[in-house]
Amino acid sequence: MSQIIEVRPSLSESLQDIADCHRVDAALAWLDNHPPHVIADQLARMDAVQAGMAFRLLDKDLALAVFEELEPVDQQQILQGLRDQSFRDLIEGMAPDDRARMLREAPAKVAKKVLAGLSPRERRMTAALLGYPEGSAGQYMTPEVVALPQNLTVAEALATVRAKGANAETVYTLPVVDAGRRLTGIVELRELVLSKPDTMIAELVVTEPVCARATDSAEKAARLMRETNDLNMPVVDSENRLVGLLTIDDAVEVIEAADSEDVARQAGSAPWAGHYMAAGVFQLARYRAMWLLLLLFAATLTVSVTDMFEGTLQQAAHLALFIPLLIGAGGNAGAQAATSCVRALAVGEVRVTDLFKVIWRECRVGLVLGSMLAAAGLVIGGLFVGPRVAVVVGITLVLICGWAATIGGTMPLLAKKLRIDPAVVSAPMVTTLVDATGLIIYFTTAKLVLGI
């Protein structure tokens, strides 16, 4: 009796583990038992050769679903390893907005090959999306929309949805247009299904719906969708003609990308595309090195201030003991304020016009925090160096925290006014600035209190 060999992978094995061992049967079994988003995550963790080999094991429908889950940089790697027919089938099956998003980041050679392999209809839609400004809602919307004329009955509207819905990305939100394709309102599919067949859709239409211009910021439109709890948002041109829909899945991706970029910049790093686990050591170091060098040069301000007050330190050597404590407290207070302000700007809770309100608010918050820390500082200072230096430390903590919180809350708003990304001037830059100015506050307070 022949022995049956078990090829099913264990639950703990990843696709990369299986690929490393060249176990094709186990890889097929793994792919059959995992959803597209999990497969896409595993492919993104693998190098280009392994990912390409694993991707070619997928059947046509699953391959398309997995491909659309990948980031553009990973999609490009997959495409480079496909034969011409597989390449064309995959590209033709993509949604136009997903295809355009990939082509925006692709080399010119890849973009040309992709466009050349498309049918005339898909090529027109893709080219139209690529023609909108970078980062605009027009580049993220889907042009495949079922638009309803405003003079239909519910029965006629449902017949239109059945006839055209297969070619649309979504039919849950149905824009209503006039004869010139100008947007007059929207109607939800739920309303059509629950209404009587002879009801005019004009009675169900939500007039003056929340919509976005095709040239508006995609991030702004996506955050507006989150505020209004809309699944889809109509996108119109400058003459209010319907050009597409911004869908919830694309809005989530836009917000996620914007938040990821802000987090990277707040941490003093350049944002990168692709999966973290697939990025090489030197690639990650390259993204971080420039910021670290910039902050290193900015930190020379701290060295200069220390050198300036060298005489003060010689007369009261105990002051040096509290330098790390003070600049650490000030830097943290400033970073907290900057992070809160960047977040408030991103979600629309704060505007540039609120600058003076933010200054007054953060200054008071900083003074309260400084007073709380000063109480602890007086105890610590009294135990180690005596009451006089402890008083210097306490006063400095109040002043430095008030100053740091004010700077941290102000800089993102000023950056926004100057059309600079607020995240760029957030935590690392604020901390570096507060370190230098905090030392000036410390030594000046010491000279006044101690009379040196």
Contacts 24+ apart (CB under 8 A), 72-76: 72/101, 72/102, 72/104, 72/105, 72/106, 72/273, 73/105, 73/273, 73/274, 74/40, 74/43, 74/44, 74/274, 74/275, 74/278, 75/102, 76/102, 76/105, 76/106, 76/107, 76/110
Put simply, whether the predicted model's pTM sits higher than 0.85 gets the answer no
Q: Compute the CA torsion angle 66, 68, 73, 79 (nearest 10 deg).
A: 70
- Sign, Cα dihedral of 344, 346, 352, 353: negative
Q: Are strands 148-149 and 206-207 parallel, antiparallel or unpaired?
A: unpaired
Using CA atoms, how far residue 96 sits from 10, 117, 321, in Å, is 38, 14, 62
CATH class as words, domain 148-267: alpha beta
Q: Which amino acid is at 64?
A: L
Q: How does pLDDT run along the chain (452 residues), one tens digit per residue?
A: 344 344 455 555 777 777 777 677 787 888 888 888 888 888 888 877 778 788 888 887 788 888 888 887 788 778 776 766 777 777 788 888 888 877 777 777 777 777 877 888 888 888 888 888 888 999 899 998 999 998 899 999 999 999 998 888 889 999 999 888 899 999 999 999 999 999 999 889 888 888 999 999 998 899 888 888 888 999 999 889 999 999 998 888 888 877 777 666 655 555 555 555 556 666 666 666 666 666 666 667 666 766 676 666 666 667 777 888 888 888 888 888 888 888 788 777 888 888 899 999 999 999 999 999 998 888 887 777 778 888 888 999 999 999 999 998 888 888 888 877 776 666 677 777 888 888 888 888 888 887 77
What Rg, from alpha-carbon coordinates, does the chain have?
A: 29
**Domain layout of the chain by residue ranges:** 15-135, 148-267, 281-450
Instruction: Give the three-state DSSP class for 172.
Output: coil
Cβ atoms of 152 and 201 within 8 Å: the answer is: yes
What residues are paired with 377 via a beta bridge? none
CB distance 214 to 243 below 8 Å: yes
CA nearest neighbour of 443 among 305, 285, 268: 305
Place of tokens 């570096």: 432
Task: Note the maximum CA span of the chain.
Answer: 99
Provide the edge-to-edge strand list for the sheet that holds 206-207.
148-149, 173-177, 183-188, 206-207
Candidates 278, 300, 331; CA nearest to 70 is 278
3-state secondary structure of 117: coil
Tokens 């947007």 correspond to 183
* Cα–Cα dist 247/173, whole Å: 9
* CATH numeric code, 281-450: 1.10.357.20
pLDDT at res. 2? 40
Q: Are 129 and 143 in contact (CB under 8 A)?
A: yes
Amino acid at 18: I
CB of 444 closer than 8 Å to CB of 336: no
One CATH from 3.30.70, 2.60.40, 1.10.1760, 1.25.60 for 15-135 = 1.25.60
Instruction: Measure the CA–CA gap between 138 and 129, rounded to whole angstroms.
Output: 6
Closest CA to 342 of 280, 420, 445, 266: 266
Contact 269, 288 (CB under 8 A): yes
Q: Give the per-residue pLDDT at 112.
A: 79
- In sequence order, what are the residues at sequence separation of 6 or more whose Cβ sits closer than 8 angstroms to the Cβ of residue 115? 103, 123, 126, 127
- Rounded to whole angstroms, the Cα distance separating 183 from 190 reads 20
